[in-house]
């Protein structure tokens, strides 16, 4: 059995994710900065060494290869701050003299271009140098020029700069932690306001949540308010059902009770028939209210396959009314879903099709459509239809069963009630064949 873990707070989760990520990114940036700094400094030194070798070559060519006439010593060291070596068959000049053990072997080498000497153990000389070697001829005299740089001093400067970068990075991380904390605190203010509103709602101070939430929280607030509306509607429907049931059952029960308590009259067949009729009215009213109590209305996460349900109902009604034809017209696929609770859609289609099957002459047509604005259910039959003055009364809530057009009362009233719960519309009219046409339109949730 896994141990139950306390859900982490949003603030703690964000800090746990953002802080390590920022530290890793800052560390990577610091490492990349060090690599780039080392590469850029090396390329810069190489470029300087090439320029200085070219300068020395130019001076040597102008002197005709006479090294002793060059003013290289003080000038070259003071201006360029680099060690150099010039070699000809007759003379070798290395400055400063302490670099002689380092540069002399390079003069004897055949390699050209950039050279690197590491871990040299020479007194009064650096252990790590970068040199550039170039050989050329002046008046058929071979010449070799080397200019070198102390990389140890440069690396010390780089290390100092890298250390300061690390210090600044740590300060930036600390600043980033503070900024993240402030931003999360400010971002969580709507949640705190929502929590306060929920506490007020629980205490009965408010009936709806009216928090000015940001865009990300608006669907949550909207769904909570819709849930509250749904609960209120269910409570109101329950009260109405109990009141209607109480009102409808009182009279039949009183009549049956009066018959049973009247001992002066014998219980003949007429009284038995009257009692059965009264009890039948009670049974019908109970059945109607029980069916209404099972209607779910709009439910989050509830959907159904309208085409599949329609085909199943048409197949069943085709067996119930074998002499009549039931036709389906739709462009929807079998996998298409509607955001309607399955039992509710089954009640809508079942009552409409059963009512049309009872009163049709030969054919019942069912049409299922959907566009961006609404979902449509259209059922039409070729029966006798309903009188014009009675069409407007079909399906109206609060109208008693015995006051409605015979045969079209309870089923259409149930359909009308379900459609109203989905904030849809139910229109009754004459079909092309003068039968009854019922058109249901329900807007999908936003």
User: What confidence score (pLDDT) does residue 310 get?
Assistant: 93
User: What confidence score (pLDDT) does residue 366 get?
Assistant: 94
Spatial distance between the Cα atoms of 152 and 130, rounded to a whole number of angstroms: 10
User: What confidence score (pLDDT) does residue 314 get?
Assistant: 92
CB 410 within 8 A of CB 401: yes
For residue 442, the tally of other CB atoms under 10 A from its CB is 24
User: What confidence score (pLDDT) does residue 15 get?
Assistant: 76
Mean pLDDT over 387-396 rounds to 71
CB 355 within 8 A of CB 364: no
CB 438 within 8 A of CB 383: no
User: What confidence score (pLDDT) does residue 441 get?
Assistant: 93
Cis peptide before 298 (omega within 30 of 0): no
User: Residue 368 pLDDT more than 90?
Assistant: yes
Nearest CA to 241 among 417, 424, 412? 417
- Biggest CA–CA distance in the chain, Å, is 158
User: Residue 325 pLDDT more than 70?
Assistant: yes
CB 173 within 8 A of CB 22: yes
pLDDT band at 301 (very low <50, low <70, confident <90, very high): low
Mean pLDDT over 336-360 rounds to 88
Spatial distance between the Cα atoms of 193 and 213, rounded to a whole number of angstroms: 8
pLDDT band at 398 (very low <50, low <70, confident <90, very high): very low
**Between the CA of residue 193 and those of 136, 183, 221, what are the distances in Å?**
82, 16, 11
User: DSSP label at 380?
Assistant: E
User: Residue 378 pLDDT more than 90?
Assistant: yes
Give the CA angle between residues 304, 307, 311 to the nearest 5°: 115
Q: For residue 114, what are the β-bridge partners?
A: 132
| Residue percentage of the chain with pLDDT more than 90 | 11
User: Residue 163 pLDDT more than 70?
Assistant: yes
User: What confidence score (pLDDT) does residue 403 get?
Assistant: 39
User: What confidence score (pLDDT) does residue 353 get?
Assistant: 92
Spatial distance between the Cα atoms of 436 and 383, rounded to a whole number of angstroms: 7
Spatial distance between the Cα atoms of 90 and 67, rounded to a whole number of angstroms: 9
Nearest CA to 246 among 295, 285, 274? 285
User: Residue 327 pLDDT more than 90?
Assistant: yes
| Residue percentage of the chain with pLDDT more than 70 | 82
pTM (two decimals): 0.46
User: Residue 71 pLDDT more than 60?
Assistant: no
Please indicate whether residue 258 or residue 444 has the higher confidence score (pLDDT): 444
pLDDT band at 404 (very low <50, low <70, confident <90, very high): very low
User: DSSP label at 99?
Assistant: G
DSSP alpha helix (H) spans, 267-407: 269-293, 306-320, 342-359, 388-391
For residue 145, the tally of other CB atoms under 10 A from its CB is 23
Highest mean pLDDT out of 66-80, 162-176, 226-240, 270-284: 162-176
For residue 351, the tally of other CB atoms under 10 A from its CB is 21
User: Residue 68 pLDDT more than 80?
Assistant: no
Spatial distance between the Cα atoms of 6 and 201, rounded to a whole number of angstroms: 25
Average model confidence (pLDDT) across the chain: 79
CB 297 within 8 A of CB 335: no
Q: Is the dihedral of CA 209, 210, 212, 218 positive or negative?
A: positive
Q: Is 376 exposed, middle or buried (0-12, 13-18, 19+ CB in 10 A)?
A: middle
User: What confidence score (pLDDT) does residue 97 get?
Assistant: 82
Tokens at 137, concatenated: 């001829």
Q: Is the dihedral of CA 184, 186, 190, 196 positive or negative?
A: positive
Highest mean pLDDT out of 36-50, 70-84, 407-421: 36-50
Judged by DSSP in three states, 213 sits in coil
Mean pLDDT over 279-283 rounds to 73
User: Residue 132 pLDDT more than 60?
Assistant: yes
Cα 68 vs. chain centroid, distance in angstroms?
A: 79
User: Residue 56 pLDDT more than 60?
Assistant: yes
User: Residue 25 pLDDT more than 90?
Assistant: no
Highest mean pLDDT out of 230-234, 365-369, 431-435: 365-369
CB 86 within 8 A of CB 93: yes
User: Residue 265 pLDDT more than 50?
Assistant: yes
Residues in the chain: 446
User: What confidence score (pLDDT) does residue 192 get?
Assistant: 79
User: Residue 379 pLDDT more than 90?
Assistant: yes
Q: At what angle do helices 10-62 and 73-80 cross, to 10 degrees?
A: 160
> Exposure string (b/e) for 224-246, b if CB count within 10 Å is 16 or more?
beeeeebeeeeeebeeeeeebbe
User: Residue 387 pLDDT more than 50?
Assistant: yes
pLDDT band at 326 (very low <50, low <70, confident <90, very high): very high
Please indicate whether residue 120 or residue 4 has the higher confidence score (pLDDT): 120
Q: Where are the beta strands (DSSP E) in 97-217?
A: 113-117, 129-138, 141-150
User: Residue 400 pLDDT more than 50?
Assistant: no
Please indicate whether residue 386 or residue 410 has the higher confidence score (pLDDT): 386
Tokens at 197, concatenated: 């509103």
Spatial distance between the Cα atoms of 426 and 378, rounded to a whole number of angstroms: 10
């Amino acid at each position: 059995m896994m141990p139950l873990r306390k859900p982490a707070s949003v603030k703690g989760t964000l800090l746990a994710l953002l802080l390590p990520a920022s530290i890793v990114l800052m560390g990577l940036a610091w490492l990349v900065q060090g690599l780039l700094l080392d590469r850029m400094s090396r390329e810069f030194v190489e470029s300087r060494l090439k320029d200085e070798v070219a300068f020395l070559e130019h001076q040597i060519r102008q002197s005709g290869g006479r090294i002793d006439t060059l003013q290289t010593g003080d000038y070259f060291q003071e201006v360029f701050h680099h060690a150099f070596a010039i070699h000809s068959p007759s003379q070798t000049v290395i400055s400063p003299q302490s670099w002689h053990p380092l540069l002399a072997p390079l003069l004897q080498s055949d390699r050209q271009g950039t050279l690197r000497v590491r871990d040299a153990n020479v007194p009064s000389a650096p252990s790590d140098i970068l040199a550039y070697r170039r050989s050329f001829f002046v008046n058929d005299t071979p010449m070799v020029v080397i200019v070198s740089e102390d990389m140890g001093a440069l690396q010390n400067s780089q290390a100092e700069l890298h250390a300061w970068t690390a210090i600044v990075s740590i300060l930036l991380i600390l600043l980033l932690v503070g900024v993240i904390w402030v931003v999360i605190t400010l971002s969580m203010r709507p949640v705190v306001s929502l929590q306060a509103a929920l506490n007020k709602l629980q205490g009965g101070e408010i009936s709806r949540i009216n928090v000015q939430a940001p865009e990300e929280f608006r669907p949550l607030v909207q769904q909570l308010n819709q849930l509250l509306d749904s609960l209120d509607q269910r409570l109101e429907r329950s009260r109405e059902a109990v009141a209607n049931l109480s009102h409808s059952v009182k009279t039949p029960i009183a009549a049956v009770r009066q018959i049973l308590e009247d001992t002066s009259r014998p219980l003949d067949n007429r009284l038995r028939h009257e009692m059965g009729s009264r009890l039948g009215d009670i049974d019908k009213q109970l059945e109607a209210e029980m069916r209404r109590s099972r209607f779910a209305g709009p439910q989050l996460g509830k959907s159904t396959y309208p085409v599949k349900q329609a085909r199943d109902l048409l197949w069943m009604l085709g067996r119930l009314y074998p002499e009549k034809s039931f036709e389906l017209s739709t462009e929807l696929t079998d996998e298409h879903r509607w955001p309607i609770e399955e039992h509710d859609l089954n009640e809508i289609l079942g009552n409409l099709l059963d009512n049309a099957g009872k009163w049709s002459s030969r054919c019942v047509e069912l049409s299922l459509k959907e566009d961006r604005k609404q979902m449509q259910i259209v059922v039409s039959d070729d029966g006798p239809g309903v009188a014009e003055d009675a069409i407007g009364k079909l399906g109206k809530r609060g109208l008693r069963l015995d006051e409605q057009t015979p045969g079209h009362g309870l089923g259409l009233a149930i359909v009308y009630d379900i459609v109203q719960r989905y904030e849809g519309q139910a229109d009754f009219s004459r079909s092309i064949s003068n039968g009854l046409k019922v058109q249901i339109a329900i807007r999908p949730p936003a």
